[in-house]
Chain A
């Protein structure tokens, strides 16, 4: 049991590190571009990475409180991605 708890702690920290690195990689793509579609995609990936981070934080603290946060961020991320794409495509979001 001690080994299992140790493995869980180590993998939680590995997951934090991996998600942080991937958030930085997505941020690099957001800065570099080169096209608008790449930037929208990078923002979408960053939202999904943020969801992963919050899930791991909830696992680390052992509370179920962060579930609603992930659900709301997932909805907001989808809506914002569609809004960016609509704005590029039509020049207007709500017609």
Chain B
């Protein structure tokens, strides 16, 4: 009985934490000044926010019916795909010039995501004027 009450309070706290992180992430998406900093805030929604909500759901399932770890699949999927989609969106920002220009790469190297036709002084022919993305 006491244990049930403690677990129910734990579910409530997980829910509040998830809701707070969701709200903070979306507020940051609205508030932050430029495109690359705006990329930072919604990661809180994906990891902490939905993570805590799924933790609450999993705890609730363990209390009321046969519990399962199914929700960990969603959590793991979100954790794995969040950096990939963030990488793609930052590439979009770089290519559309919505952010500061990237610094020069060291030595003779080049950033692999950028257009390479700006180098006319003996750039390798097989890599010139292609957009590696």
Contact = CB atoms under 8 A, between A and B. Distances in A.
B57 interface: yes
Interface residues of B, number: 58
Given A55-B53, A59-B57, A12 B15 contact: yes
Consensus secondary structure, chain B interface: helix
Interface in B12-68: 12-13, 15-16, 18-20, 22-23, 25-27, 29-30, 35, 38-39, 42, 45-46, 49-50, 53-54, 56-57, 60-61, 64-65, 68
A35 B93 contact: yes
B69 to A, nearest CB: 11
The 10 closest A-B pairs by CB, nearest first: A22-B26, A85-B88, A18-B19, A4-B8, A15-B19, A11-B12, A4-B5, A25-B26, A45-B42, A78-B81
Interface of A: 1, 3-5, 7-8, 10-12, 14-15, 17-19, 21-23, 25-26, 28-29, 35-38, 40-42, 44-45, 48-49, 51-52, 55-56, 58-59, 62, 64, 67, 70-71, 74-75, 78, 81-82, 85-86, 88-90
